[in-house]
Amino acid sequence: MISALVSTLLPIVSGVIDRLVPDTNAAAGAKRELEKALIDAETAGVLGQLEINKIEAAHRSIWTSGWRPFVGWCCGAALCYHFVLQPIIIFGLALTATVPPDLPAFDMESLLTILLGMLGLSGMRSFEKFKGVAK
């Protein structure tokens, strides 16, 4: 699967290769090598970030290892407010015939992007624990 970065860079550089290399077979080979090099570089970056994440998660300080749980709890609290508490508050105010004030609203698109990304990471972590890879 080609990432967005590779799929963006490849057509630009392919055009340059087409202009610099007149032989179509050589140009096609150069494009394949370039695509492989871009994917290898991106994979190395992702693997490096995963290693940094492991080191951060193992850290004893709450300020280093606790930011992911903090973000998870914030996302969970925001979702609870938006989908559970806010409707109950509005319903309660409607029962008392009180006009509900404008309650705070969240940018749910951004919130869900963060939460779903974290849930994906949590799913991977749960799979590791299930397989006995992590302590």
- The pLDDT score that the predictor gives to residue 64 is 62
What is the residue whose two structure tokens read 């409607």? 94
Please tell me whether the overall predicted TM-score, pTM, comes out greater than 0.85 for this model: no
Distance CA 80, CA 86 (A): 8
Distances (CA, A) of 24 to 11, 17, 27, 35: 16, 10, 5, 16
Residues 74-126 have pLDDT tens digits of 888 888 888 889 888 888 888 887 777 777 777 788 887 877 777 766 556 66
Distance, CA of 85 to chain centre? 27
Dihedral of alpha carbons 11, 16, 22, 25, sign: negative
Residues 78-87 have pLDDT tens digits of 888 888 898 8
- The pLDDT score that the predictor gives to residue 1 is 47
- What's the token pair of residue 127? 């799979």
Give the start-end residues of each E strand in the chain: none
Distance, CA of 122 to chain centre? 12
